[in-house]
Structure 1
Amino acid sequence: MKNTWITAALLAGAISACSGDKAGDKIDRMHSDKMESFSSATLNWQDEAILPPGAQSALLVGDPTKAGVFIVRLKFPPNYPIPAHTHPFTEVITVLSGKLGNGMGETFDTSNGEVLNAGDSFVLPAGHSHYVWTTDEETIVELIATGPWDISYINPADDPRNSKP
């Protein structure tokens, strides 16, 4: 169970991509006057800047940069690690496809965690150190959380935002 919470941390990385709408294209998705469906085939995947290179996100509902609930999907390539980190608010993560490993603690160790399959979910409380990884296949998860969102890597050198010019 504790390892399940780690997976949620991975999802938090989707925040960056979720907030990456082009100027002028921002939609208030939390206040809709119509029913809206989300087709996996038509999602607008964006590179996720707050996660290690290779992750992508697609915002479904809300705005992770503002107060309030948001929902985002995150796509991770095979054999993808997200180093130990924390988040400011609780996350709920559901594995939609593939497999997602997760572990608790400040040291990345795939032998000290669990692997979740498609359909599995977990809750990660705010401030819990965790890490996640994928196995030998692409993995897509759905993250439901409260903004404003952020991710704090235990080792600042792991933060991809620190390597940007």
Structure 2
Amino acid sequence: MKLIFIASMLLALNGTALAQDQIERMTADKMQSFRADEVNWQPEAILPAGAESVVLVGDPTKAGVFIAWLKFPADYPIPAHTHPFTEVITVLKGKLGNGMGETFDKTNGEVLNVGDSFVLPAGHSHYVWTSDEETIVELIATGPWDITYIDPEDDPRNNP
């Protein structure tokens, strides 16, 4: 009986590991290089007007890891919000302010420079802003990616 229980547990753990591997796996069919002035930037509908994005690897609408670039204009705020999964942001160009909490307040945040990164756990309220220059960040996250604004009035999908 013990042997059957142990075998069942090993199979269950192995199945879980395989499922986790499939969710987290990110694959590429060929080597690619990306340059900010050559990618196909598109308006980002889930962020306030003015943001653009390009998905480099993966698919943010599906389960699994993806990498995207986001481009924000100068003096651009993104109100307080949460995400369903952990994300990693790295500043590629410009400066990005980042604050934690449910109320937008630049005095309670930090400003990140080119090369700086932050990790945001799933479900943590935060907000971001740019300074007086265009900013590009790299987003590495797990899909399906979404954003939930603390104040639904801030959600551009509610205000077409």
Same fold? TM cut 0.5:
yes
Q: Which runs of 5+ in 2 are unaligned?
A: 1-25
- Pick the aligned partner of 1:150 from 133, 146, 152: 146
Q: Which amino acid is 1:70 matched to?
A: F
Moved segments of 4+, more than 4 Å: none
* Percent identity for Structure 1 against Structure 2: 80
Residue 70 (str. 1) matches residue 71 (str. 2): no
Residue 48 of structure 2: aligned partner: 52
Residue 89 of structure 2: aligned partner: 93
C-alpha separation between the residues in 2 aligned to 1:41 and 1:98?
Answer: 15
Question: Cα offset for 1:39?
Answer: 2.0
Q: Which amino acid is 2:150 matched to?
A: I
For residue 37 of structure 2, give the secondary structure of its aligned residue in structure 1: helix
Q: Which amino acid is 1:149 matched to?
A: W
CA-based RMSD: 0.9
C-alpha separation between the residues in 2 aligned to 1:40 and 1:157?
Answer: 32
**TM-score for both structures, normalised by structure 2:** 0.82
The structure where helix makes up a greater share of residues is 2
5 Å-filtered alignment, 1:71-150, equals 71-150=67-146
Any idea what the Cα deviations from partners look like across 1:113-160, whole Å, max 9, x if unmatched? 110000100100000000000000000000000000100000000000
For residue 111 of structure 1, give the secondary structure of its aligned residue in structure 2: helix
Residue 33 of structure 2: aligned partner: 37
C-alpha separation between the residues in 1 aligned to 2:30 and 2:94?
Answer: 32
C-alpha separation between the residues in 1 aligned to 2:97 and 2:59?
Answer: 27
Any idea what the Cα deviations from partners look like across 1:38-70, whole Å, max 9, x if unmatched? 122211000000000000001100000000000
Do 2:28 and 2:57's aligned partners in 1 also have CA atoms closer than 8 Å?
Answer: no
C-alpha separation between the residues in 2 aligned to 1:126 and 1:102?
Answer: 15
For the pair shown, the structure with the greater C-alpha radius of gyration is 2
